[in-house]
């Protein structure tokens, strides 16, 4: 069975949520690739050392959460990774999201979450301000798109929804004002009601992240 290396951090969490949502035939294995004991092994799998990584017997390791979501969808025989006419629309939202909404959330989460959890320097207020400004540029576009629809592409959740939301489980730390954008807020509430999204780690032995100091 393929192995998906994951952690509770945003991109590995995204891959784990996809795997659990699709009930994909993979074994989820918690990892800490930057732990000095584990680093040599993970460097053989991914030159960037980071996770998620999907390891299958007959092909080189696959890294990048979006590529892994595509493969998990194939393994599960699902249209979660859209096919045919809907595929370009899904890819549009993934691509736009990575440059805009997800990027904005990532900037803020990195400064307020990752840096403080892992003691990698003080939070940069200018970066938080820039991330927040980018959030307010991107959120209205999503809000308008979601006014008349439940999901970004088609009538069921796709990877566009999961990717767009990838940093929102960390909004307790980011404190971005999602509720200023009612359709966006309602969309995220729908996603958060999906058990595999709400807790991708249920039943797995997954250590908590280091706490964010007060
Ligand atoms: N662009 C990559 C980013 C991967 C990445 O940054 N992974 C981080 C977490 S978000 C990581 O490996 N952190 C170490 C850990 O979680 O232990 C993707 O989408 O998969």
Nearest CA to ligand 1 atom 12: 50
Condensed to tens digits (0 to 9), the pLDDT of residues 110-121 reads 999 999 999 999
139-151: pLDDT as tens digits: 999 999 999 999 9
Residue 175 lies in a domain: yes
Percent of the chain beyond pLDDT 70?
Answer: 100
Question: What is the number of domains present in the chain?
Answer: 2
Looking at the fold, whether 117 and 171 belong to one and the same domain comes out as yes
Name residue 28's beta-bridge partners.
4
Q: Say yes or no to pLDDT of 175 above 90.
A: yes
pLDDT value of position 133: 98
Tell me, yes or no, whether 146 and 166 share the same domain: yes
Over pLDDT 90: what percentage of the chain? 100
Residue 141 and residue 103 share a domain: yes
Say which residue the tokens 């007959």 belong to.
Answer: 58
Token representation of residue 140 = 């209205």
Same domain, 177 and 118: yes
Spatial contact of 26 and 72, defined as CB atoms under 8 Å apart:
yes
CA distance 141 to 155: 19
In this structure, the answer to whether residues 77 and 136 fall within a common structural domain is: no
Residues flanking ligand 1, CB < 6 Å: 7, 9-12, 32-34, 50-52, 64-65
Domain that holds residue 21: 3-81
The pLDDT of residue 86:
96
Whether residues 151 and 169 fall in one domain: yes
Query: Rounded to the nearest whole angstrom, what is the distance from the C-alpha of residue 52 to the centroid of ligand 1?
Result: 6
What pLDDT shows up at residue 214? Answer: 83
Long-range contacts of 42-45 (CB under 8 A, 24+ apart): 42/5, 45/5
* pLDDT of residue 164 exceeding 90: yes
Residue 112 gets which letter from DSSP? I
> Which of 23, 50, 81 corresponds to the end of one domain?
81
Q: Note whether 62 and 105 are same-domain residues.
A: no
């Amino acid at each position: 069975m393929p192995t998906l290396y994951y952690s509770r951090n945003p991109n590995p969490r995204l891959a784990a949520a996809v795997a659990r949502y699709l009930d994909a035939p993979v074994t989820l294995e918690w990892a800490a690739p930057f732990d000095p004991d584990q680093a040599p092994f993970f460097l053989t799998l991914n030159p960037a050392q980071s996770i998620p990584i999907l390891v299958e017997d007959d092909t080189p390791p696959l890294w990048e959460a979006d590529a892994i979501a595509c493969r998990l969808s194939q393994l599960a025989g699902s249209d979660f990774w859209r096919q045919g006419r809907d595929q370009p629309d899904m890819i549009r939202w993934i691509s736009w999201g990575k440059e805009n909404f997800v990027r904005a959330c990532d900037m803020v989460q990195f400064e307020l979450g990752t840096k403080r959890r892992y003691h990698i320097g003080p939070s940069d207020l200018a970066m938080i301000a820039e991330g927040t400004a980018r959030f307010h540029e991107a959120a209205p576009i999503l809000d308008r798109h979601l006014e008349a629809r439940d999901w970004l592409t088609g009538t069921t959740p796709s990877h566009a929804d999961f990717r767009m939301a990838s940093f929102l489980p960390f909004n307790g730390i980011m404190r971005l004002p999602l509720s200023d954008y009612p359709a966006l807020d309602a969309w995220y509430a729908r996603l958060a009601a999906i058990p595999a999204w709400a807790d991708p780690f249920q039943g797995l032995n997954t250590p908590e992240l280091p706490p964010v100091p007060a």
